[in-house]
Structure 1
Amino acid sequence: MQVRRSTAMLAGMLLLAVPVTASCGMSGLDAATNRDYTPAAGANDRDASVDVLGAVVVSAQKGSGTFLATFVNNDTTEDATVTGIGSAAGGTDLTVGDFAPITVPARGMDNLAGEGKAGIPVSGDFEAGDFLAMQITLGTGETVDMKVPVVPDDEQFDNEFQGLDTSGES
């Protein structure tokens, strides 16, 4: 009698444990734990020869802001260039300030918010909280389309973007 009760209890515990253990990594090759995820306010795109990471438009006032991102060159031998930044098809019309092509060294990076850099001014019909459909053009002819968040540059929020909107400076 004791053996039957122990066997029945063990079988019941195994029956309860199967759904729990089945959800622990056995859900396939595209499980959420296998995907890149960087918890940050900016948008990331890793589909082209140059990764666009942490892309944001920092805005201190409605209608203007500063585009910031980090460009990472995946080529180990050749430098890459970012030649254009603008509106993606179907997005808000944006006016992007002039900038020289951005050279990204082989297997290197260029951060538009880095030392001595001021980002790229952007203007249009947007404000903090919006997402802008933007297109980044590379020297290879590749384009990267992404939805870029507009984040506030406001001392009230005391956030990591405070003071980074240089669009109003001359």
Structure 2
Amino acid sequence: MQFRRSFALTTAAVALATTGLSSCGFGYATDRYYTPSVGTNDHDGTVKVLAAVIVSSEPGSGTFVASLSNRDQDNDVSLTELSLTGGEPVEFEPVVVEKAALVNLAEPAADLKLTCDFEAGNFVEVSLGFDNGENVVMDVVVVPNAGYYADLDGPAPAAETPEETTE
């Protein structure tokens, strides 16, 4: 009787110890970045690009929104180029990300307007260039200008119309 009880307790202890040791390890999902958000993240360069989306009020036009986190402790870094891959670069004033700081492109709005053949729900490849020579290319989702992203996409650039003359 004593033998059975000792054997059962030993077996239970070994099973519990083995289960605890085998449930964790190296290279599992718990060791990787996971940010539950709609946007795309890039952690590779000096500047992390976080929660990147294109907010769109209408098909073919949208505003690029993201947070930029500078991991360089000694130097400021500026976002100087933005374009859809294969498209024309957007013209804008460089966005300075101070050393060891974060800049949210939505507050205040940086007005980084992109135009191309896309609509809400699509993914488009966006290229970001920084003054330290680094480039980030990432697939970014297009989201509607509603809910959490409401009012982040201003009106699309108005098409020029010829002025009417009266004679």
Contact 2:82 2:90 survives alignment (8 Å): no
Structure 1 position 144, deviation (Å):
0.7
Q: Which moved more, 1:94-103 or 1:44-53?
A: 94-103
In structure 2, what residue type is equivalent to 1:166?
G
Contact 1:87 1:134 survives alignment (8 Å): yes
Contact 2:82 2:127 survives alignment (8 Å): yes
In structure 2, what residue type is equivalent to 1:153?
N
Mind listing any 5+ residue stretches in structure 2 that lack a counterpart?
Answer: 159-167
Deviation track 1:120-163 (CA, whole Å, cap 9, x = no partner) reads: 11111111111111111111111111111111113xxxx21011
**2:98 is matched with which residue: 100, 105, 123?**
105
Instruction: Give the 3-state SS of the residue equivalent to 1:8 in structure 2.
Output: helix
Q: Which moved more, 1:144-153 or 1:16-25?
A: 16-25
Question: Does 2:139 correspond to 1:140?
Answer: no
Structure 1 Cα separation of the partners of residues 18 and 58 of structure 2? 52
Question: Could you say if the C-alpha distance between residues 33 and 98 of structure 1 is closer, same or farther in structure 2, counting changes exceeding 3 Å?
Answer: same
Structure 1 Cα separation of the partners of residues 98 and 112 of structure 2? 19
Structure 2 Cα separation of the partners of residues 75 and 4 of structure 1? 64
Aligned length, in residue pairs: 158
State the structure with more CA Rg: 2
Question: Does 2:149 correspond to 1:161?
Answer: yes
Structure 2 Cα separation of the partners of residues 60 and 19 of structure 1? 55
Task: State the identity %.
Answer: 34
Structure 2 Cα separation of the partners of residues 142 and 118 of structure 1? 20
Structure 1 position 94, deviation (Å):
4.2
In structure 1, what residue type is equivalent to 2:55?
V
2:40 paired residue number: 43
In structure 2, what residue type is equivalent to 1:20?
T
Structure 1 position 8, deviation (Å):
3.1
Structure 1 position 80, deviation (Å):
0.7
Structure 1 position 32, deviation (Å):
2.5
1:119 paired residue number: 111
Structure 1 Cα separation of the partners of residues 89 and 122 of structure 2? 17
Question: Could you say if the C-alpha distance between residues 45 and 7 of structure 1 is closer, same or farther in structure 2, counting changes exceeding 3 Å?
Answer: same
TM alignment of 1:54-65, pairs within 5 A: 54-65=51-62
Question: Could you say if the C-alpha distance between residues 129 and 96 of structure 1 is closer, same or farther in structure 2, counting changes exceeding 3 Å?
Answer: farther
Q: Which moved more, 1:2-11 or 1:40-49?
A: 2-11
Question: Could you say if the C-alpha distance between residues 35 and 167 of structure 1 is closer, same or farther in structure 2, counting changes exceeding 3 Å?
Answer: farther
Mind listing any 5+ residue stretches in structure 1 that lack a counterpart?
Answer: none
1:17 paired residue number: 16
Question: Could you say if the C-alpha distance between residues 72 and 114 of structure 1 is closer, same or farther in structure 2, counting changes exceeding 3 Å?
Answer: same
Instruction: Give the 3-state SS of the residue equivalent to 2:148 in structure 1.
Output: coil
